[in-house]
Amino acid sequence: MEQLQKIVIIGPESTGKSTLSSQLANHYNTLWCEEYARQYLMQHGKDYTYADLLHIAKGQVALEEKTMEAVADNRLRQAQKYPPLVFMDTDLYVIKVWSEFVYHRCHQWILDQIAVRRYDLYLLCDTDLPWVKDELREYPDPGTRKELYRIYRNLMVQQSVPWVEISGGYEQRFEKAKKAIEEETGF
């Protein structure tokens, strides 16, 4: 069986990450890993603490592992129904940025996990979509959104995994993402 390729969709809030993750998973007939933070905050409330970010990070890792196992199991049981792709609607870089932006520090466990977890492609979503109000979103200000995007972009430049900037309307983002996936994975 081919090795599972993990594609992460990252960027500031309200940049179409969940929409793009869902579209790509549907297009490639595979699964996607949702953002655990949303589940956690809906259950525990949006008044989070620094300690909550470590719980969220551990939940994200567990959810990623569960999603990857489900893709692998389905591929084996259903005669390779799913291609060896899985999409992640965020990863620990997002929690690192969130933690450092809000608390000016990050748990060592998160940093250690970033160093050992492996992904195959990052799709960095730009802030050029209109901000959509949501009960969990915190930063509608265009200046703050651009600053967060700059932080994510700097992270991408400093790491070794291939990455592509994704911008434009929803359809443009989908097309750019498919092209990047085709170029990097052959699918």
How do residues 20-50 score in pLDDT, each as one tens digit?
A: 999 999 999 899 999 999 999 999 999 999 9
Q: What is the pLDDT of residues 70-126, one digit of tens each?
A: 888 776 555 555 678 999 999 999 999 999 999 999 999 999 999 999 999 999 999
Place of tokens 């097309």: 175
CA dihedral 9, 47, 60, 182 (to 10 degrees): -10
Homologous superfamily assigned to 5-182? P-loop containing nucleotide triphosphate hydrolases (3.40.50.300)
CA-CA-CA-CA torsion sign (78, 82, 84, 88): negative
pLDDT score of 1: 44
62 closest CA partner among 104, 92, 105: 92
Tokens (6 digits) for 82 = 């799913």
